[in-house]
Amino acid sequence: MPAAERTRAQALMALTQQFDAAGVDTAAEDARLLLRAACGLSRLDLATEPDALLTGAEEDRLSSYAAQRTQHEPVSRILGERGFWTLDLVVAPDVLDPRADTETLIETALRLCRDTPPTTILDLGSGSGAIVCALLSEWPQAHGVAVDLSPHACRATMQNLRRCNLSDRAMVMRGRWSEALGAGRFDLIVSNPPYIATGDLAGLDPDVRLYDPALALDGGADGLGAYRAIIGDLTRLATPGALALFEVGAGQAGDVAALLAAAGLTPAGVVRDLGGHERVVAARHGLAGPTGA
């Protein structure tokens, strides 16, 4: 016997309850997004026509999305894309799903480079390419180099650069941090490296632990391993006055600022994200240009 037909409003309520019961924190928001995607609806369509009936194909899609989300697969992975900054990016399997908090790094870069926009940008650990794509989209005169050790991430960076029409201004290299980079120097060096202490990985939310790759998360015994590896080579890569920006995890800003100072860079401040957490550490190579973040 065919299942009874449901209206959009009924489907939305049932899905929200199903996600709540499965322990999904953002049950109502996720239900709305997945219902809209399953039925091809705009926000307005859903608000103005809640009594329209779902077709069989829409029910099938919704049921497959619901099964994925109750297994804690994030909405962006189910739908294969997410908004970051002003861009719509592909979210690929085995590549970190870019986070809204990382937009703090983009805002900081724009603010600290307002008077002297960079012409050369280096993104170490580019993942999906979220950071390099956002920065190149803001500075049409700039060229970028993106490096990642993961072949999946390198492919995703290239895919998103193409999607954003930025490929002609960027080069993607597979390698261990800056090891493969030659004599070129950069005005802006950015990185959101893995920064979770190895011992904390098992306690992460399932949305993260089961779907983001360990290579993108594991920062070694104290979570600072990647910062040490990257910062040790920064002065070789930076033009005089270059800005370096690092995303950091909880409680790491002081340690990362100290690593930067020990490497000969001038601390230029710590910036908090919208949740009030210290999120970005800034430093300058030499004293040219404004320093304060």
Ligand X SMILES: C[S@@+](CC[C@H](N)C(=O)[O-])C[C@H]1O[C@@H](n2cnc3c(N)ncnc32)[C@H](O)[C@@H]1O
Note the residues at the interface with ligand X (CB under 6 A): 96, 98, 102, 125-128, 130-131, 147-150, 153, 176-177, 192-194, 215-216
Least Å distance, CB 228 to ligand X, is: 11
Least Å distance, CB 102 to ligand X, is: 5
* Spatial contact of 250 and 215, defined as CB atoms under 8 Å apart: no
The whole-angstrom separation of Cα 242 and Cα 239 is: 5
Cβ proximity to ligand X, 139 vs 177, nearer residue:
177
Query: What is the phi/psi pair of residue 26, to 5°?
Result: -105, 50
Nearest to residue 256, comparing CAs of 199, 201, 191, 203?
191
The whole-angstrom separation of Cα 216 and Cα 150 is: 9
Least Å distance, CB 183 to ligand X, is: 19
Least Å distance, CB 43 to ligand X, is: 26
The whole-angstrom separation of Cα 252 and Cα 259 is: 11
Cβ proximity to ligand X, 62 vs 156, nearer residue:
156
Least Å distance, CB 238 to ligand X, is: 18
DSSP assignment, residue 84? Answer: E
Dihedral of alpha carbons 243, 246, 250, 254, sign: negative
Cβ proximity to ligand X, 216 vs 245, nearer residue:
216
Cβ proximity to ligand X, 74 vs 127, nearer residue:
127
Cβ proximity to ligand X, 102 vs 108, nearer residue:
102
Residue nearest to ligand X as judged by C-beta position: 127
Q: Which residues contact 234 (CB under 8 A, 6 or more apart)?
A: 189, 244, 260, 263, 265, 285
